């Protein structure tokens, strides 16, 4: 079995294994597994409902910004600056989209993989960016929304810094690894 | 800060669409995004119930305590304000473990649970505490050992070596995680200095 198959197997099995192991250990340790599951799940409903207005607010603002074409102007304006840093112009939209929208970034990456090929340098960089960063705005909205926090302090800045490092780091590492 | 960013996103979007004669796009995109957000919350209900239920079993069976026993010495260093035996520590550890194992949709429910536990320790309920900022920083850096989704997409796109990115992803993840932990510390220090003045 090669490394590719091993990784695919692991990511295929990780969730089923957790869903298998935890209830079995629970049962062996005399936990009333069914009742405990239901009891734990109860909170889920209220939390998800509580997040709703926060998600609506954030997704409406981001979507209007994106659909109006204002995002494309941002990309155009930032493109020369990022190109100076060694970023290919094809990757600039992904850099801007990544922290704002998970599905948007996924769409852009799939497009890059299809036009340039998944094993091209651009394809490898885009894959690494998507694998090693997360949707900062979504995480902030959902996590802080769930507990009703409105003052984020420096969280957004730190999250965006992580995205920048992830993006520039992907370009640097890929250029070193896949010459 | 977040108020200004939210306003800017909305206002520049509407302004730009208006200036380019595409104002109808604003109405469409606002309504479809609002509907999409509700659909997403409904999807979250199921996922939250599933993982919080599993988490409850893990708690009662002592699995959370067992994992915490090994990991809390390290995680405690990153979260000095959280007492070792507080439920928040267990929840933080489960969130980070799920993130690392690439359990995708389990991360959000566990992360929210950790935030709720941290909120109990938080003296100012409307302001993010130090530990909350650190947890957010770690989650947004998204440390994953095996990027399962990305491997699947690369496979689907016909890659001859879909897992070529595993090493690169790990290196970049470590870089980003170390950077955000440092940035979080520096920001906290600057923030404290400003408050004390």
Per-residue pLDDT tens digits for A67-110:
999 998 888 888 898 888 888 889 999 999 999 988 889 999 99
Q: Please, which residues 66-85 of chain B have a Cβ atom closer than 8 Å to chain A?
A: none
Quickly state the pLDDT bin for A1 (edges 50, 70, 90).
Answer: low
B162 to chain A: nearest residue by CA? A4
- Percentage of residues of chain A with pLDDT beyond 90: 64
Instruction: Dump pLDDT digits (tens) for B57-99.
Output: 999 999 999 998 888 888 999 999 999 888 999 999 999 988 8
pLDDT, residue B34, reads 95
B152 shares a domain with B99? yes
Cβ-contact B82, B89 below 8 angstroms:
yes
User: Under an 8 A CB cutoff, do B163 and A151 touch?
Assistant: no
Here the ipTM equals 0.90
Domain limits for position A71: 46-177
Q: Does the pLDDT of residue B197 top 80, yes or no? A: no
Instruction: Dump pLDDT digits (tens) for A108-144.
Output: 999 999 999 999 999 999 999 998 888 999 999 999 9
CA dihedral A18, A22, A25, A28 (to 10 degrees): -130
Instruction: Dump pLDDT digits (tens) for B129-141.
Output: 999 999 999 999 8
B66 shares a domain with B40? no
B130 shares a domain with B162? yes
Domain limits for position B2: 1-44
Q: Does the pLDDT of residue A4 top 90, yes or no? A: no
B157 shares a domain with B72? yes
Assign B127 to helix, strand or coil. Answer: strand
User: Under an 8 A CB cutoff, do A22 and B57 touch?
Assistant: yes
pLDDT, residue B63, reads 92
Phi-psi map region of B190: left, alpha, beta (phi>0 left; psi -120 to 50 alpha): alpha
B80 shares a domain with B177? yes
Nearest to A131 among B101, B169, B175 (CB): B169
B101 shares a domain with B16? no
A124 to chain B: nearest residue by CA? B165
How far apart are the CA of A151 and the nearest CA of chain B, in angstroms? 5
In a domain, B185, yes or no: yes
C-alpha distances in Å from residue B129, one per residue of A137, B87, B119, B126: 18, 16, 8, 9
Assign B99 to helix, strand or coil. Answer: helix
């Amino acid at each position: 079995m090669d490394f590719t198959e091993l990784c695919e197997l692991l990511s295929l099995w990780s969730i089923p294994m957790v869903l298998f192991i935890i209830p079995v250990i629970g049962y062996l340790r005399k936990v009333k597994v069914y009742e405990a599951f239901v009891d734990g799940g109860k909170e889920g409903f209220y939390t998800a409902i509580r997040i709703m207005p926060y998600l609506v607010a954030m997704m409406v603002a981001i979507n209007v910004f994106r659909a109006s074409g204002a995002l494309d102007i941002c990309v155009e304006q930032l493109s020369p600056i990022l190109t100076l840093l060694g970023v290919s112009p094809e990757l600039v939209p992904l850099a801007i989209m990544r922290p704002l929208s998970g599905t948007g970034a996924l769409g852009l990456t799939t497009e890059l993989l299809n036009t340039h090929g998944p094993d091209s340098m651009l394809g490898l960089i885009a894959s690494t960016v998507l694998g090693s960063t997360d949707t900062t705005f979504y995480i902030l909205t959902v996590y802080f929304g769930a507990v009703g926090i409105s003052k984020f302090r420096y969280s957004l800045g730190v999250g965006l810094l992580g995205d920048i490092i992830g993006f520039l780091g992907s370009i640097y590492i890929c250029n070193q690894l896949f010459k | 800060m977040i108020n200004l960013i939210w306003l800017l996103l909305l206002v520049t979007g509407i302004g730009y669409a208006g200036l380019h004669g595409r104002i109808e796009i604003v109405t469409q995109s606002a309504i479809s995004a609002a509907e999409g957000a509700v659909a997403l919350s409904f999807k979250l209900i199921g996922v939250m119930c599933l993982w919080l239920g599993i988490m409850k079993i893990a708690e009662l069976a002592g699995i959370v305590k067992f994992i915490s026993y090994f990991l809390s010495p390290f995680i405690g260093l990153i979260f000095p304000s959280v007492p070792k035996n507080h439920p928040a520590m267990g929840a933080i550890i489960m969130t980070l473990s799920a993130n690392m194992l690439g359990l995708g949709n389990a991360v959000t429910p566990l992360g929210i649970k950790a935030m709720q536990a941290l909120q109990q320790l938080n003296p100012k309920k409307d302001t993010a505490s130090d530990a909350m900022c650190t947890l957010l920083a770690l989650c947004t850096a998204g440390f994953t050992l095996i990027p399962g989704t990305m491997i699947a997409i690369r496979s689907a796109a016909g890659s001859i070596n879909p897992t070529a990115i595993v090493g690169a992803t790990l290196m970049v993840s470590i870089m980003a995680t170390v950077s955000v932990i440092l940035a979080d510390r520096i920001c906290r220090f600057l923030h404290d200095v400003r408050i004390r003045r």
